[in-house]
A = this chain, B = another copy of it.
Amino acid sequence: MIEAVLPQASLLKKIIEAVKELVDEANFDFSETGIRLQAMDKSHIALSFLHLRNDGFSEYRCDRSQTLGINLNSFSKILKCAANDDQVQIKATDKAEKLAVSFESSSKDRVSEFNLKLMDIDIDSVDVPEMDYQATVTMSAQEFARIVRDMMTLGDAITIDATKQGVKFSTFGDDGDGSILLKHGKLIDDENNPSATSVEINEPVSHSLALKYLANFAKAAPLSDSVTINLIEDAPVMFEFKISEMGHIRFYLAPQIEDDNE
């Protein structure tokens, strides 16, 4: 028996919107301590991890660990039927074939009950070791989404350079080239969520990444005021969006290898 309640449906909506950019179907692993999800995109290049701790829910119960295979588009359709400030409850019996999803408006005048078909998904799980990153950039999540969107109009790849001065994003394409530098310690002016850019650095690192994946990661920006970008030589870049006091969503993306002959 699984039962989990969130006071605001909007949070679950944002989480599923962020994950469904990468994969159509995913296994949600429910355990006593919370919910975990791991998903690799179809081209096996980007990896996403979601972790929601049990204490972040207003109610949480999981009698025994259970994996629920969920079609994220179907789940998203059902969540669209919730008002943002509806309370949302998800519920499944042992060996359930359906996930019960219910919404209740704050005034209790409207109760919605949905059943989402569950599925068996065969996925190998991947272990990603924790690392001592060479550089850690923290910046406004909204600014990150904006830079990715802007750079996509010019090029296919983005280079992230983390130095003591700050973090520089650059791209090039047929129309020209460009770079955007966010200075360390400076506050990004943003009415909604002012957020200082900070670059902690052991050694300068530079990585080139495919913009189309970053555009998917940027869908997680509504979840968090800031994003943390962790870089290290010869390993995937990790993007982490904190989910308010209950967990995080992390994306890993392998850098593009530069062709020496170019």
Which of B77, B110, B114, B150 contacts A181 (CB under 8 A)?
B110
Which residues of B sit under 8 angstroms from A189, Cβ to Cβ? 105-107, 109
Which residues of B sit under 8 angstroms from A117, Cβ to Cβ? 174-176
Contact with B along A159-189 (1 / 0, CB 8 A): 0000000000000001111111111001111
Minimum C-beta distance from A176 to chain B (A): 4
A78 near B186 (CB under 8 angstroms)?
no
B116 near A186 (CB under 8 angstroms)?
no
Interface bracket on A: 35 or more
Which residues of B sit under 8 angstroms from A111, Cβ to Cβ? 180-181, 183
Which residues of B sit under 8 angstroms from A188, Cβ to Cβ? 105, 107, 109-110
B182 near A110 (CB under 8 angstroms)?
yes
A74 near B109 (CB under 8 angstroms)?
no
Question: With contacts A81-B153, A106-B189, A109-B189 known, what are 16 further pairs, Cβ within 8 A?
Answer: A71-B175, A77-B154, A77-B175, A80-B153, A81-B178, A81-B180, A109-B187, A109-B197, A110-B181, A111-B180, A111-B181, A113-B178, A114-B177, A114-B178, A115-B178, A116-B175
A→B interface (CB under 8 Å): 71, 73-74, 77-78, 80-81, 98, 105-117, 143, 150-151, 153-154, 174-183, 186-189, 197
25 sampled A-B residue pairs with Cβ under 8 A: A73-B175, A77-B153, A77-B154, A78-B154, A78-B175, A81-B151, A81-B153, A81-B178, A81-B180, A98-B176, A108-B186, A109-B182, A109-B197, A110-B182, A110-B186, A110-B188, A112-B178, A112-B179, A112-B180, A112-B181, A113-B178, A113-B179, A113-B181, A114-B154, A115-B177
